[in-house]
Amino acid sequence: LVTQQIELELQNISGIKEIRSTSIEGVSTIVIEFEPDVAIDQAFARVRDKVDVAKVNLPTDVEEPSVTEIDFSDFPILTVNLSASFPLTRLKKVAEDLEDELEAISSVGGVDLIGGLDREVQINADLSALQGYNLSFEDLVKAIRDENTNIPGGSVDVGRMNYIVRIDGEFDDPSEIENIVIKSKNGVPVYVRDVAEVDFGFKDRESFARLAVFKTEDDDGVVSTYGGDDAALQSVISLNVKKRSGENILETVDQVDAVLENFHFPSGMKVVITGDESVFVKTLIKDLENNIIGGLIFVIVVLLFFLGLRNATLVGIAIPMSMLISFIVFQALGYTLNFIILFSMIIALGMLVDNAIVIVENIFRYREEGYSKYEAAKLGTGEVGGAVVASTLTTVAVFVPMLFWPGLIGEFMSYMPLTLIITLLSSLFVALIINPVLTGIFMKLESEAAVTRPPIVKRLAMGVTAIIALILGISNWKMLLSLGIGIPSMFVLHKYFLKPAGDKFAHQTLPRFIESYKKMLDSMLQRDYSGRHTILRNTFALGSFTLGFALLIGSLIVSSVASPAAGNVLMLPGIVILGIGLVGIIFHTLEVVFTGGRGSVRSGIIFIVFAVVLLGLISLGDTELSLSTIVTLMILPVVVIIIGLAGSVFTKRDHLILTDNRARLLNASLGGLFAIIVMFSMAPTGVVFFPETDPRQVRVTVAGPLGMNIEASNNLAAIAQERISRLLAENRSSQENLKNMLVNVGVGENNRFSSGAGSPERSRITINMVDYQDRWERSVATLSRIRDGLQGIPGAEIKISQDSQGPPVGAPVNIEISGDEFDTIRKITREIKQILIRASDSGSIPGLVDVSDNLNSGRPELKVKIDRIRAAQFDLNTRKIANTVRSAINGVEAGKYREGDEEYDIIVRLRKSDRSNLESLNNLTILEEGVQVPLVSVAELEIGSGLGSITRLDMKRVATVSAEAAPGFNGQAVLGEVQLVLADYVKNIPPGYVISYTGENEEQQESFDFLTIVFLVGVSLIFMIMVAQFNRVIAPLIIMVAVGLSLIGVILGLVLTRTPFGLMTFIGVISLAGIVVNNNIVLIDYTMQLQDRGLSKHDAILEAGAIRFRPVVLTALTTILGLIPLTFGINIDFVGLITNLDPDFQFGSENTQFWGPMGSAIISGLGFATFLTLIIVPVMYSAFDSLATRMGNAFHPELTNEKAD
């Protein structure tokens, strides 16, 4: 009658993603989710208009529909807990006064008060006494109302004065009510005290709140620990403070703190703040600052080591300049800083200097060759400027498609590509404009004499420095002090340590490195085609693999353009040829290992040592490694060692089949990729959506059956809290992890589709953890203990949830059942739930916990079924009977009692023993014309249940079964097991009913599909930009192969660090694709320039590799080192180290757990890609160029043969 009528109107609104409704007895809730590109203000107005249209079709007794906006930020930012030695009634008054002051803060959206007692005057009527005096409820209520009056009686003139006449009959004390005369029987008065008890007592409680404090931390960071009675649960009144949407959480909390500071609390009160979200935000910002400073120091140290102080300064200026320009652009676009933007800045930190390194290093090389400053700046910038622009555009290209990420996840992550695009383009501007200008002015060779600056220049520099110092000192003296100590310290470090070591490295070690590199690269370019069929032997495997791959791509294109049948014509031969090529590549890889002999043995041993050390470090942390996993990871290097030993014993030949070292290297690279993929499949790390982080807060929901009263619910919560307290007493690690525990009884759920309204049967226990570095064990371990300890509470459904850094995405297991008949939907839902509960209890699906459904059987109810014929015989109607029953049980307000400024309700109803006893209700009478008519004479009482809830999705009835993955278990793996268990059942469901796996699985699939498209589009854009840069296809193809081979490093990093592949890793892979091409573009571009100047291909490759060796290694190092603090959680409080001599060093954090997988993917992939750039790419360039030349000679015999290289 209500829900469907409104839904019919709402479905006509454009831009709706889904309409989800829940109907329970007396309440209809409809949640509309719009597409992300829909303006929320317009959507809100359209919904309100459609609801107004639907109102004319609703029943006349329906209340006015309310349209509100769901705000994901509408959750408490902190909870103020009040306890006192005086009664709860007085504490409630203090809490209400504080509530008023907190709600007066403009940025506070609302304050919810939980706990406490409200007073009221209770008139508890004795049913038998009323019947004995032949009185009705209405008589009792009317008598009290008639006496409790304050009526003006006009005015009267007495002499010169005019007096206002007022009849003041209001009660001065509740005891006066006892003496009110209801009626007189034969001259004998019947008083209220004869038929009722008067009690100035308390309203029935709607909520309870208790708090246990285990640890507190003051503003100076001093932690106090409590135990015994001090840590026992105490009754409190909780005030949940929510901020308005769009308001700054730090400023809001500061204003709340100011109110608490100035509020007059009576003596004997204690105030405890729990769940303060601003603490997390401040910690996040502090970690960000330290990660940025740490990454910056790493980058600067490397620059100082490689380039010296002056050149390092010229390069390093790119970081603050690029960030400054980025902040200006953000401000112009109307964006405010958030943690996604700041973390993206850290990701970009190492890349900001890449362009500057290439430009400054090339200018410096020209200066060393004797050119003047300005000539060197002009020639150096012009020589690599085009390549720098192309390389930056290719990096930006992979992030552009990510700007169009749809949905809630897109809104959450869209700031990252925007930040990277803006900062990288800013760094390009700095590298092409600012760096050449500054280099032309300030670059100096060591052999040159120092330039004497005019005194005016020195004074001007000192003045600018003083002004900057003054501004910093006023705004942030700690930052000024840190810079004042940090910069001189870095200068001292450079002068006495880095410069001597750097000079030795630059003049002795680096030249030897480069010379060794040239020799190795030269050997990789050697080939011997003097034997028989050497061309076929060297090209068959790679050629077959390439041809097969091309045929498969062609079949996909033909299938999409023509028909699948036409595509199959190419697919079958493509698969066969690809398989032949793959077998050949694997064989040649084994050949390379075999002929490598002792070199292969050394490589295998080095891999084992590296893997063992890395796995050992990982095992010291939180990652558990099984023996089978370790053995699996050791198989590949052991095979390499065995084959290498066999080769060193049984052959002395340098080659067996392959005679071209280029072919040997390329086959081995592809074979290595295949081997790494096999290793990954044998020791999978799993797939996740967002990385699992160590929770700061754990929420335990204790739900009794629908209809449970608040007292029984409080008893359930008490059992749960007692079990948790006992668990803490038995496990010190868990106890040391807890900061406080807050128990709220009679609260609703705070989820995506709930308003959080009170529910008597539901309680929430909120457990707040200590800071990450202070924990004795991982929070997930504590959470697991709590989960185990709360199992088996009779009559209670336990759900445990934790906070997360990502957006809300639903449960890992979320099964929606839809169809036509709700009874069938209910049956399927119950059966699926029971299957999963059995699987969870038996352990057949490891990690499956908290199985539940959203079906609701309805509240238990006592129905009064009126016999209208019998009622009419007593001149009674349904309304009069209903009013009597309602007044007797629920009570009726008979007036107000005022005490000072306070006002209390006067409630008349049956005493508790009469209204909670079924027999007494049977004896309830309705007085009609002096005759007491028993309720049982005109009605029957039946115990039953009300209507259950009905959930609809897009106008179709739907029910949901959901479950969670226990901490430490992969949600996708648990879902996969659930799908296997339900596979047979799903096949046999009735026709017309659909089972869908939604929630986290749906969001993940959508995001992964989108990122796959982003990767393909980004790679296509990269290819087109490179074709435009090189004006040919071969060079871009070579670089794209290098991008593919960089996956070896990514997969190897995932396998060895046991990092699951997830959304953040996927983003890291996409980012890597744009980063890898940078050095390759510069290297190949310079190789082609050298060829254009007359060098042979062989000499050009060697010369370009030697000259670009330093910038290639340097740009890779700066990018990797810039990410290390964030990826591995190396956190040092540099400001605290200088100002308080306290570095507060910690290893790991929640931020590292969230962002680390992305950093790991980039670091491991880029590390291997550097090897690709320096070795594989030059070799491929030589091989592809030779192939192109041979093909050209074959098709154009008149051309001369390939030049000797």
94, pLDDT greater than 80: yes
CA 1005 to chain centroid: 16
Residue 172 domain flag: yes
273, pLDDT greater than 80: yes
Each residue's pLDDT tens digit, 76-90: 888 898 988 888 888
User: If pLDDT is split at 50, 70 and 90, which confidence band does 451 have?
Assistant: low
882, pLDDT greater than 70: yes
CA 1163 to chain centroid: 22
Query: Are the beta carbons of 803 and 955 closer than 8 angstroms?
Result: no
Least confident of 91-105, 392-406, 755-769, 1165-1179: 755-769
Each residue's pLDDT tens digit, 515-533: 998 998 898 888 887 778 8
Each residue's pLDDT tens digit, 301-344: 787 777 777 777 888 788 888 888 988 998 888 887 777 887 78
Q: Same domain, yes or no, for 198 and 316?
A: no
pLDDT greater at residue 496 or residue 1060: 1060
User: If pLDDT is split at 50, 70 and 90, which confidence band does 637 have?
Assistant: confident
* pLDDT given for residue 1203 in this prediction: 43
Q: Taking residues 177-184, what's their average pLDDT?
A: 88
| 784's tokens | 């697991």
Which of the 8 DSSP states describes residue 1201? P
* pLDDT given for residue 756 in this prediction: 43
* pLDDT given for residue 1035 in this prediction: 86
The residues near 524 (Cβ < 8 Å, ≥ 6 apart) are 661, 662, 665, 1175, 1178, 1179
Q: Which of 1142, 1146, 1138, 1144 shows the shortest CA–CA distance to 487?
A: 1138
Query: Are the beta carbons of 1065 and 1120 closer than 8 angstroms?
Result: no
Of the residues 14, 39, 57, the one at which a domain ends: 57
Q: Same domain, yes or no, for 1028 and 1145?
A: yes
* pLDDT given for residue 67 in this prediction: 82
Percent of residues, the chain, with pLDDT higher than 70 = 89
Q: Taking residues 261-273, what's their average pLDDT?
A: 88
* pLDDT given for residue 836 in this prediction: 92
**pLDDT averaged over the chain?**
82
Q: Same domain, yes or no, for 1008 and 941?
A: no
The residues near 822 (Cβ < 8 Å, ≥ 6 apart) are 950, 957
* pLDDT given for residue 1205 in this prediction: 44
Alpha helices in 430-476 (DSSP H): 435-442, 455-475
How many other C-beta atoms are found inside a 10 Å radius of the C-beta of residue 57?
13
Which element (helix H / strand E) includes 722? Answer: helix 710-730
795, pLDDT greater than 80: yes
Percent of residues, the chain, with pLDDT higher than 90 = 4
* pLDDT given for residue 98 in this prediction: 92
Residue 1117 domain flag: yes
Query: Are the beta carbons of 964 and 850 closer than 8 angstroms?
Result: yes
Each residue's pLDDT tens digit, 821-848: 888 888 899 999 999 999 988 888 888 8
Which element (helix H / strand E) includes 1202? Answer: none
The residues near 901 (Cβ < 8 Å, ≥ 6 apart) are none
Q: Is 703 left (phi over 0), alpha (psi -120 to 50) or beta?
A: beta
Q: Same domain, yes or no, for 43 and 138?
A: no
User: If pLDDT is split at 50, 70 and 90, which confidence band does 857 have?
Assistant: low
92, pLDDT greater than 50: yes
174, pLDDT greater than 90: no
Residue 154 domain flag: yes
Query: How many CA atoms are closer than 13 Å to the CA of 542, on its beta-carbon side?
Result: 23
580, pLDDT greater than 90: yes
User: If pLDDT is split at 50, 70 and 90, which confidence band does 863 have?
Assistant: confident
612, pLDDT greater than 50: yes
The residues near 721 (Cβ < 8 Å, ≥ 6 apart) are 210, 233, 741, 743, 765
Of the residues 648, 682, 716, the one at which a domain ends: 682
Query: Judging by beta carbons within 10 Å of its beta carbon (0-12, 13-18, 19+), is residue 895 exposed, middle or buried?
Result: buried
469, pLDDT greater than 70: no
Of the residues 898, 915, 945, the one at which a domain ends: 945
Each residue's pLDDT tens digit, 756-780: 445 788 888 988 888 887 888 888 8
Q: Same domain, yes or no, for 1078 and 1168?
A: yes
The owner of tokens 């008060």 is: 113
Beta bridge partners of 120: 201
Residue 521 domain flag: no
Each residue's pLDDT tens digit, 350-387: 778 888 888 888 888 888 788 888 888 888 888 888 88
* pLDDT given for residue 256 in this prediction: 92
Query: Are the beta carbons of 111 and 240 closer than 8 angstroms?
Result: yes
* pLDDT given for residue 470 in this prediction: 65
User: If pLDDT is split at 50, 70 and 90, which confidence band does 69 have?
Assistant: confident
Q: Same domain, yes or no, for 931 and 1008?
A: no
Number of domains in the chain: 4
Each residue's pLDDT tens digit, 550-573: 888 888 888 877 777 777 888 888
Coil, strand or helix at 1159:
helix
Q: Taking residues 393-407, what's their average pLDDT?
A: 87
Taking the C-alpha atoms of residue 1024 and residue 413, their distance in angstroms, rounded to an integer, is 26
User: If pLDDT is split at 50, 70 and 90, which confidence band does 66 have?
Assistant: confident
* pLDDT given for residue 1159 in this prediction: 84
Q: Taking residues 58-81, what's their average pLDDT?
A: 77
CATH code: domain of residue 1112: 1.20.1640.10
* pLDDT given for residue 1202 in this prediction: 44
Each residue's pLDDT tens digit, 501-515: 777 877 788 888 889
Residue 71 domain flag: no
Taking the C-alpha atoms of residue 445 and residue 87, their distance in angstroms, rounded to an integer, is 81
Q: Same domain, yes or no, for 393 and 315?
A: yes
| 1136's tokens | 């605290």
* pLDDT given for residue 758 in this prediction: 58
* pLDDT given for residue 464 in this prediction: 65
Residue 1126 domain flag: yes
Q: Which of 1163, 1173, 1165 shows the shortest CA–CA distance to 1079?
A: 1173
Q: Same domain, yes or no, for 1025 and 1110?
A: yes
Q: Same domain, yes or no, for 173 and 295?
A: no
The owner of tokens 């050497």 is: 534
Each residue's pLDDT tens digit, 1089-1128: 888 888 888 899 999 888 888 888 888 888 888 888 878 7
CATH code: domain of residue 10: 3.30.70
446, pLDDT greater than 70: no
- How would you classify the pairing of strands 902-910 and 119-125? parallel
Query: Are the beta carbons of 1143 and 1130 closer than 8 angstroms?
Result: no
CATH code: domain of residue 151: 3.30.2090.10
Each residue's pLDDT tens digit, 14-28: 888 888 887 776 678
Taking the C-alpha atoms of residue 1075 and residue 1022, their distance in angstroms, rounded to an integer, is 11
pTM of the full structure: 0.78
* pLDDT given for residue 472 in this prediction: 55
1083, pLDDT greater than 90: no
Query: Are the beta carbons of 632 and 1055 closer than 8 angstroms?
Result: no
User: If pLDDT is split at 50, 70 and 90, which confidence band does 928 have?
Assistant: confident
* pLDDT given for residue 576 in this prediction: 92
Q: Which of 1114, 1024, 1177, 1069 shows the shortest CA–CA distance to 355?
A: 1114
- What is the 3 state secondary structure string of 735-802? HHHEEEEEEEECCCCCCCCCCCCCCCCEEEEEEEECCHHHCCCCHHHHHHHHHHHCCCCCCCEEEEEE
Each residue's pLDDT tens digit, 1050-1068: 888 888 777 888 888 888 8
132, pLDDT greater than 80: yes
pLDDT greater at residue 622 or residue 984: 984
Residue 454 domain flag: no
Q: Same domain, yes or no, for 920 and 1021?
A: no
* pLDDT given for residue 231 in this prediction: 59
Q: Same domain, yes or no, for 291 and 439?
A: yes
| 598's tokens | 């002792």
User: If pLDDT is split at 50, 70 and 90, which confidence band does 582 have?
Assistant: very high
755, pLDDT greater than 90: no
Which of the 8 DSSP states describes residue 175? G
* pLDDT given for residue 835 in this prediction: 92
Parent domain of 569? 549-682
User: If pLDDT is split at 50, 70 and 90, which confidence band does 579 have?
Assistant: very high
1193, pLDDT greater than 80: no
Residue 522 domain flag: no
Q: Same domain, yes or no, for 335 and 442?
A: yes
Taking the C-alpha atoms of residue 108 and residue 511, their distance in angstroms, rounded to an integer, is 64
